[in-house]
Structure 1
Amino acid sequence: MLLENKTAVIYGGGGSIGGAMAGAFAAEGARVFLAGRTPAKLEAVADRIRGAGGQAETAVVDALDAAAVNDHIDTVVEKTGSVDISVNVITQEGIFQPLADISTPDFVAAIGKALTSQLITTKAAARHMVKQESGVLLFFGGSDNANTSPGLGNVQVGFDAVESLRRQWAVELAPHGVRTVTLLTGGIIDTFPDIPEMEGPRQSIIDNSPFKRAATMSDVGSVAAFVASEKGRSITSTQVNISFGACYG
């Protein structure tokens, strides 16, 4: 198993992407700790993992509350002895409108929350990983400078901002043996809201791929598990492109 005896903390673990990663990590032997704000969603993911023979625990944690995040990860480390993988898949609330139609306060608030959440959770994990001289910080979404699509509103801007944050973490944490990797997806279309405005972006992702395919949640989990494992130990300070070639960043 790729992640046997590893500990993974997943913020947003009750969502589609977080659940996909959690399931893949657990299938490879990791003990996963799912953190989020909705108990029912967290327990649903945990039940699936346990039903498949994996190990999963849940906790209601607001990723915008630094004290709560730090208390939770300290508890995890007390139980397991380490935190080997930390991933925050909580992104800003997507406003799928032309930029000219989005109010400035809404735009700033959405991206601000995403960056705040990422900063809080990464700081908490890094505090332990630096002591361990090991660990993997995974980020999700990525930055693709070559491609843009109308109708994405604040979404890609937010991903770009998080990727900039990831690059800064990379140079600061690499000397302590901590790897930082972003999964560049170009969009996981089976997680897109089922609204008419998303038909264009959904088809654009497929059309931009030379394979005429889009990555699935299963693809996200499989690649994340590999990257987080020792098999992927040479991958750091970069993006891993899992977009079927739709992204060029």
Structure 2
Amino acid sequence: MNTTATAPTTSTTSTTSATTAPLRREQKPADLLADKVALVIGAGRGIGAAAARLFAREGAHVLLASRAQHELKTVTEDIRTAGGIAEYTPCDLADGDSVHAAVERAVELYGRLDVAFNNGATGAPPGPLDQVPVAELDRVYAVNLKGTWQAMAAEVAAIRATSGSGAIVNTSSVGSLMGNPELAAYAAMKRAVNSLTESAAITYGPEGIRVNAIAPGTTLTEMMYDWDVASPGTIERLNAQTPLRRAADPVEIAEAAAWLLSDRSSYVTGTVLRVDGGLRS
């Protein structure tokens, strides 16, 4: 759907002076995600919750999904109170059946799927890789990489069958763009998500399905605070390395995802967009 506002026309009559020409009225652009059906996985808190609220404000019909249903209910009620359209459903990224059910639920509720934001993830205790238990590595793999893979497969199928074209955004991490001595397992899975994103963009671009990723920098989420507790001073140290000298609010990351999912980024696919305040510049 074309969401570009029509530019106001101006008179081209040469006899019209600057003082008598009609005033140009500012036109409010259409909402970024007007009338799109959006699935947000990992929507209970942090970036996902901020994205769900933002997408609804931008006109989307939103389905929120995550494991924590009480968090989903709170965010959904906030959206509805603000006049938005939202429902929620349980989803465990480590469970393929659960992922497919969430995607199917979006189609059941709204009749189609246009866009999806795969933001769900799990962290790992910081430390060198030789101190990471294999069970932790398996858990991070199951959620952050395999879960994203399964979500994308289900979303592509749903978009193809209902809307015909659409967009998907995956949440990566700025930590995926270089070595990360404290979060080796997490960063490795996120780097794999980058590769998966690029491969999917090439595969599904001919069908009109765009696939991009965002790579957030230091963002004030529960995961970031947990890391700061485990390694005191982490946020302060990262802020000192960031040209903007601060961490992001989750909604600042959500804004980037909204743009990538919207028709205003219609020629953007296969990119991993850094939203990091210049941290990796």
CA distance in 1, matches of 2:235, 2:186: 14
Residue 82 of structure 1 and its aligned partner are, at CA, apart by 1.9
Pairing 1:100-111 to 2, within 5 Å after superposition: 100-111=130-141
Q: Aligned AA for 1:92?
A: T
CA distance in 2, matches of 1:33, 1:239: 24
Aligned to 1:184: 215
- Is the counterpart of residue 157 in structure 1 residue 188 in structure 2? yes
Residue 179 of structure 1 and its aligned partner are, at CA, apart by 0.8
What are the Cα deviations for residues 18-49 of structure 1, in whole angstroms up to 9, with x where unaligned? 10110110010101101122211100111111
Aligned to 1:171: 202
Aligned to 2:273: 240
- Is the counterpart of residue 135 in structure 1 residue 166 in structure 2? yes
Q: Structure 1 length normalisation: TM-score? A: 0.90
Q: Aligned AA for 1:40?
A: H
CA distance in 2, matches of 1:92, 1:197: 15
Residue 186 of structure 1 and its aligned partner are, at CA, apart by 2.2
Q: Aligned AA for 1:232?
A: S
Q: Aligned AA for 1:158?
A: M
What are the Cα deviations for residues 106-135 of structure 1, in whole angstroms up to 9, with x where unaligned? 223322332221111111110022333311
Aligned to 2:152: 122
- Is the counterpart of residue 5 in structure 1 residue 38 in structure 2? no
Change (3 A) 1:146 1:135: closer
CA distance in 1, matches of 2:102, 2:136: 30
Aligned to 1:210: 243
Change (3 A) 1:142 1:177: farther
Aligned to 2:258: 225
Whether the aligned pair in 1 keeps the contact of 2:220 and 2:250 (CA below 8 Å) is no
Aligned to 1:57: 87
Aligned to 1:45: 75
- Give the structure with higher Rg (CA): 2
CA distance in 2, matches of 1:60, 1:216: 25
Structure 1 unaligned residues grouped into runs of 5+: none
Q: Aligned AA for 2:63?
A: F
Residue 200 of structure 1 and its aligned partner are, at CA, apart by 4.2
Residue 144 of structure 1 and its aligned partner are, at CA, apart by 5.5
Whether the aligned pair in 1 keeps the contact of 2:93 and 2:142 (CA below 8 Å) is no
Change (3 A) 1:105 1:79: closer
Pairing 1:9-48 to 2, within 5 Å after superposition: 9-48=39-78
Whether the aligned pair in 1 keeps the contact of 2:176 and 2:190 (CA below 8 Å) is no
Change (3 A) 1:240 1:146: closer
Whether the aligned pair in 1 keeps the contact of 2:43 and 2:64 (CA below 8 Å) is yes
Whether the aligned pair in 2 keeps the contact of 1:96 and 1:155 (CA below 8 Å) is no
What are the Cα deviations for residues 181-200 of structure 1, in whole angstroms up to 9, with x where unaligned? 11111231443134443334
CA distance in 2, matches of 1:247, 1:188: 14
Structure 2 unaligned residues grouped into runs of 5+: 1-30
When the two chains are superposed, the root-mean-square deviation of aligned CA atoms in Å is: 2.1
CA distance in 1, matches of 2:231, 2:220: 9
Aligned to 1:198: 231
Aligned to 2:106: 76
Aligned residues: 248
Whether the aligned pair in 1 keeps the contact of 2:218 and 2:239 (CA below 8 Å) is no
Q: Aligned AA for 2:40?
A: I
CA distance in 1, matches of 2:105, 2:178: 42
Whether the aligned pair in 2 keeps the contact of 1:61 and 1:72 (CA below 8 Å) is yes
